Amino acid sequence: MPPTVEWRVRLRLFEDEGTTKARVVPDTGTTALTGRGVAHCNPADTNVPEIGDELAAGRAMRDLAQKLLDAAERDIEGMGAMALSTRQAVGWPV
């Protein structure tokens, strides 16, 4: 059985002049990637801070996910294999 790998992920949320900002950083031991996301409350809407947190955090995680996929694709190409975007998907859809 292969060894288990665990990555710890730090998510930081903060407010900056009416904008909720999020930063998510995985600690892989080798990869230095950061996902970022923001959310703004429309002045006509009721201010619900939890919604801003969810939006900013979700956007940061989506940004990080894309950066991880891009890094994996570069690594695959670096090994001489076809890019993920040009080969047929196998297994679970992403």
Domains and CATH numbers, the chain: 8-80 (3.30.160.240)
Confidence of residue 35 (pLDDT cuts 50, 70, 90): very high
pLDDT at 92 over 70: no
Query: How confident is the model at residue 33, as a pLDDT?
Result: 94
CB atoms within 10 A of CB 36: 15
Q: Using the structure block, give the residue that is written with the tokens 């992920």.
A: 9
pLDDT at 53 over 70: yes
4-29: average pLDDT: 93
Confidence of residue 22 (pLDDT cuts 50, 70, 90): very high
pLDDT at 86 over 90: no
Query: How confident is the model at residue 11, as a pLDDT?
Result: 97
Q: In this structure, what token pair is assigned to residue 53? A: 């947190």
Q: Which residues pair with 39 in a beta bridge?
A: 20
pLDDT at 59 over 90: yes
